[in-house]
């Protein structure tokens, strides 16, 4: 098991770097389709996301040490969440934000790309949970576990997107969450190797602001962590699900970025390895808003040509753009319907 886990971690890392290089050499649809402009006025590519999703899928399918059920669940979670996130990366229009925005649009007969993504990731979570379900318990217990695991996988995919607002942040969260889940047992550790390897391999590109996870990469990483959590005992799954849902709900009212900035240890970790903040990129009171970047939901810090400014498509991810180089936080007059991050 340990040998298989190490092989999977290495395979995911190699696959992520190789996939990123291959996609960069021949971007599907052309480089412009995948390029955005960040707060520094520099181009960044969304191709990191597909590289991570494909690497996780490949590592799940071809490396030893996983049961057939976990192998299938992990591959479906990575590929499905990555595909729906990628669709929103490329086709999203930016008119609606968060769960409330998309539900409101649906109530008026408008189907947003974010709503399609949310539904698609929900179905992906259900399929992944069903694939790994092998509990011989009675029907009622199996149904309860299936419901828990489905929501756990889908909500983890969504939550990771809420953290993808600054260079390296979502990858650091992946690593921290993976370290915690590793204590849940060997099954969880075996699954965790795939997202951990892919994430670590792409961290230098993310921190250097040459590339970004986008919805594709952030959703894929979160879904894979959800599969790992689903392999834990029920009490751990319930605790993880409670924490995820609480954070998601909090994001509708509280800015994760503000909390991080006001908490010295979190701020230190968030800034670790990032490019220095210079000039007008600094926010008020030393806030490194300028150190922000285009994020998993096409962060509103993307201020390039029309079509590059995206919207958060899941519960309250990202702030709208305020004055150049600064990001308006929820609770201000410019929050205009966006909640949380």
Model confidence over 221-277: pLDDT tens digits? 999 999 999 999 899 999 999 999 999 999 888 899 999 999 999 999 999 999 887
Residue 143 Cα to chain centre, angstroms = 27
Residue 293 Cα to chain centre, angstroms = 14
At residue 36, what are phi and psi to the nearest 5 degrees? -130, 165
Does 324 have pLDDT greater than 50? Answer: no
Q: Provide the pLDDT confidence category of residue 97 given band limits of 50, 70 and 90.
A: low
* C-beta of residue 200 within 8 angstroms of C-beta of residue 179: no
User: How far is 110 from 64, CA to CA, in rounded Å?
Assistant: 45
What confidence score (pLDDT) does residue 185 get?
A: 86
Does 34 have pLDDT greater than 50? Answer: yes
For the CA atoms of 126, 128, 131, 135, what is the dihedral angle to 10 degrees?
-70
Provide the whole-model pTM: 0.80
What confidence score (pLDDT) does residue 167 get?
A: 92
Summary mean pLDDT of the chain: 80
The residue behind tokens 């250097």 is 208
What confidence score (pLDDT) does residue 300 get?
A: 37
Lowest mean pLDDT across 30-34, 134-138, 198-202: 134-138
β-partners of residue 36 are 44
What confidence score (pLDDT) does residue 160 get?
A: 96
What confidence score (pLDDT) does residue 311 get?
A: 36
User: How far is 341 from 339, CA to CA, in rounded Å?
Assistant: 6
């Amino acid at each position: 098991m340990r040998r298989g886990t190490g092989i999977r971690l290495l395979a995911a890392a190699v696959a992520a770097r190789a996939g990123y290089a291959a996609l960069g050499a021949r971007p599907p649809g052309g480089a412009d389709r995948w390029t955005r402009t960040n707060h520094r006025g520099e181009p960044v590519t969304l191709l990191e996301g597909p590289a991570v999703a494909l690497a996780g899928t490949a590592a799940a399918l071809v490396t030893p040490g996983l049961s057939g059920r976990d192998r299938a669940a992990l591959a479906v979670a990575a590929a499905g969440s990555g595909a729906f996130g990628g669709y929103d990366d490329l086709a999203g229009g930016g008119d609606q934000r968060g769960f409330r925005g998309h539900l409101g649009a649906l109530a008026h007969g408008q189907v947003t790309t974010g709503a399609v993504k949310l539904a698609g990731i929900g179905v992906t979570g259900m399929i992944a949970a069903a694939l790994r379900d092998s509990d011989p318990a009675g029907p009622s217990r199996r149904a309860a576990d299936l419901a828990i695991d489905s929501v756990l996988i889908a909500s983890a995919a969504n939550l990771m997107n809420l953290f993808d607002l600054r260079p390296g942040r979502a990858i650091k969260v992946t690593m921290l969450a993976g370290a915690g889940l590793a204590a849940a047992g060997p099954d969880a550790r075996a699954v965790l190797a795939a997202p951990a390897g892919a994430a670590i391999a792409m961290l230098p590109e993310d921190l250097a602001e040459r590339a970004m996870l986008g919805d594709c990469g952030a959703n894929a990483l979160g879904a894979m962590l959800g599969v790992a959590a689903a392999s834990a005992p029920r009490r751990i799954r319930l605790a993880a699900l409670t924490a995820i849902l609480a954070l998601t709900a909090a994001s509708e009212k509280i800015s994760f970025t503000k909390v991080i900035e006001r908490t010295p240890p979190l701020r230190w970790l968030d800034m670790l390895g990032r490019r220095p903040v210079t000039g007008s990129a600094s926010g008020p009171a030393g806030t490194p808003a300028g150190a922000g970047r285009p994020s998993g939901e096409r962060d509103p810090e993307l201020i390039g040509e029309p079509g590059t400014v995206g919207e958060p498509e899941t519960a309250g991810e990202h702030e709208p753009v305020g004055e150049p180089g600064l990001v308006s936080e929820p609770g201000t007059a410019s929050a205009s319907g966006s909640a949380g991050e």
